[in-house]
Chain A
Amino acid sequence: MKRGHGETWDPPPASRSGEGPSMADKKKVADDNNNNNMDDELLAVLGYKVRSSEMAEVAQKLEQLEMVLSNDDVGSTVLNDTVHYNPSDLSTWVESMLSELNNPASSDLDPTRSCVDRSEYDLRAIPGLSAFPKVEEVFDEEASSKRIRLGSWCESAGESTRSVVVVDSQETGVRLVHALVACAEAIQQENLNLADALVKRVGTLAASQAGAMGKVATYFAQALARRIYRDYTAETDVTVGSSLEEVLQMHFYDSCPYLKFAHFTANQAILEAVATARRVHVIDLGLNQGMQWPALMQALALRPGGPPSFRLTGIGPPQKENSDSLQQLGWKLAQFAQNMGVEFEFKGLAAESLSDLEPEMFETRPDSETLVVNSVFELHRLLARSGSIEKLLNTVKAVKPSIITVVEQEANHNGIVFLDRFNEALHYYSSLFDSLEDSYSLPSQDRVMSEVYLGRQILNVVAAEGSDRVERHETVAQWRIRMKSAGFDPVHLGSSAFKQASMLLSLYATGDGYRVEENDGCLMIGWQTRPLITTSAWKLAGGGESRR
């Protein structure tokens, strides 16, 4: 009997008539699928990418794997400890397990086989966490009877997905949201008189709305008002603006896990990439307060065989006269490195825009160093000027890094239509504010400053235009397309990073709604089912060594 995966296996009941696809239709679909190099449509909907032409081969590998595992329990234990990557790519996943069982990684002898989960990243090295007691409990997975975590897997960039989480309580403020959306619609239709009336109404409603919704609405109302009156001015003094920004980001770092997650997962990818390097050079495209690096240095220090030397090039905004905060930061980090016993070198680079950077400025040492480029919330800003992102990515390519780690907001705030951007941003920041609201045990100053930090982003997304509008967030699906066409291939983050990121989150017992999830090799952190921040990693396409 010919086997096509569209065929059915029983004779249809005699009473059925014309319901569902006929045998002939199904067979045709099966033949079509076999002839194309297309992914099986039915499995794709369920999150698995398997080419129709490879289906039989994947089945065979599954069978092989079952054979091997059925012989004893050892195989299962081994696979529990290995690092898994990108489960959507079934063929590669099964293949990697087969080769793991056939050639078990010997963790001490060959550190390039990053398959064994060593979980050596010490979460206590993360700044801010030292205040939290009971670190040991983190490693007990079964300890909690917490609510299960949900994550979500976003669709491809082609279709927009509007992921909404509603909190069913008095707090929702339906009238408030109605007024906000109506105001934005009025602006979209250029009916500014109506918009003005509505924005005042929003202000009134927001003032009497408790909780996150009231705060979000207030920021959105202020932004809408600025847009109506064309009253957006970018801060002319870049140095003032950026140092305020850094302070605010520090509070954001302290008050919620998003930035810690971002740093943590980026560092995981970096650690894997530099596993055998003796000299490591990291270019941080936005040094800020350098919060990401102490933890990385500590992890490097713990490497069996001793740490590599660590060189950091930190990029920051132009410096005020008579001050060099970049250099001061470098000194602080040097101090930390010395305490860790890590050989350290620092250089600060001031640039008004990342597109001003040229490869020579980094003074790379390709013969001796393994180079890493790290970007947290920096890339989207370059989308405000035509050609900027391409220039930067070319510069990055020119220095030939082993890995590029990218952290970006998971939202499309860069659509052409204002109303669409507005709606996206409303959903996004509602979720963010919601999650801040939950952290009851925090000092309120942190929370307020975090809200101000986010409020500035809201203002920019809603009221700014042209080169002033720098908060041009895009989804990872969109970034994938950009990075691919710029000549980069993805580097997958695996189950080990996922697990440790999850454990990191469990330290925030009060904020129980945080979720980590895996999406086609990237890791996302979100609130409830809404992903908010994505960490991805990249390498130069083609050539170069591949880790897996």
Chain B
Amino acid sequence: MRRDLRGALLLLLTAAVQSSSMSAPGKPVLLSCRSPEKETFTCWWEPGSDGGLPTTHHLYYERERLEGTYECPDYLSAGRNSCFFDKNHTSIWVDYYLTVMASNALGNATSDPFKMDVMEIVKPDAPENVTLRVEEREASPCLHVRWMPPSNTDTKSGWVTIKYELRVKKDNSNNWKEYTSGTQTHFSLYSVSPGGVYTVQVRCLLDHGEWSEWSNTTFVKISNYLQNERPLSMLISILSAILFIMAGLILIAKRKSVKQWVLPPVPGPKIRGINSQLLQSGGSDDVGNVLIIKQSFPPIYFVWEDQMEDYLIVTENEDWLSSNSQKRKKSLIPACFHFDSEIHSKESPCHKNDWEKDEEISQVDNNNKPFTNTGYVDFQRHVENVDVKHVDYSRVKEVKSDNILFLEKEKVQSSGYIHFQRQEGIPEDYSRVKEVESDNLVVLQKQNAADLSCKDEGNHYTDCALHKPRKPHVCTELSDSGYVDTIPAPPLM
């Protein structure tokens, strides 16, 4: 009896001791849920203390648009403390309210409700089958990466849209370089150098959910093939060096022509009629010939034919200066001309000689005589530009005696006029008009017979004061239709 009582008391004591560590289970906590492909999902919880007793957990859920409370369909597929919802039990765009209840012999404990929508918990698996392929190109190698989408995703119907990302690391460094691949399942890397070990990882994203984990690392070693290429590059560099040297030698050999081509000579100023070479090399005689127009007739003639020059009258007579304008524009009129035809000064052969004559005269006579001492410095002028309009001509109708001219009443324009020789050393062939009686009668001053070195024989005109003999064809005859230059300016007297 006492032994029974002691045994009972001991049992009661042990029971009492034991029962102090036993309790109802602690409150479990729902951790997270995840859907890898938008078709199924799994939820995990963490159990609280089990209270020392075997505790069971149950997951219950309610769903939007679905009446009633349901229990988890699958506790096993996803491992411990998890609940797997298969395709039949998964709906999207509806809210799930989940609770986990832990129960043991002593009681229950219910977790807080967990609200979720499948749309919000999408996180795919990592991409599979990542392969690397090295393409060895001449300049630099490149790396081609290929992979497959996670096997449980449906890529055929358009239900999911997967985007990819990859990262690359060289050798053992910790610097990953990330690249975005979009929806392509391949990618090419060009910034790889030979002689290194490259590690590549890929991950993916479904719709706008969470990124997956990185795939398993894949390694590839790019061989250092550059050594093989060295002889070729050396050969190329040697050849190009030889070419450069040859080009340089050719340039040096032809440096003069190169210099001419690169820096063409600048043309210097040219003075017409002056040959700079001649100036440099020739004697003073030649220089004088060039500057003084004494002998070089042909050139000047040609010059005269081309250019247009104004005449500048140089005179020492102040009276004449004051009464006349300094400049008179006259054309160079040949002493000889054809009366019965139009004067074509250019075509007339007389031109040449007359020009000669005038020049000579201007050179020879330097005596100072009033009015008569007019030397002309003739600037060439185009014959057509002669102010013929300003000069009115009157045609000589009749020459009565040796000093009376009858002019025709009509005025005739002409570009020619006669030069009369004067015996007083006057270089120009002018007759002084003594008197103008009517509008068609001109009385010329009689010349001094003593000084007359040439005489006016009626209608003939003879050339007197020339030093050089004149050529016969140069002289022509003055016919009745002679011209007298009547200058509307102040009278010649």
Please indicate whether A and B come from the same complex rather than being unrelated chains. Answer: no
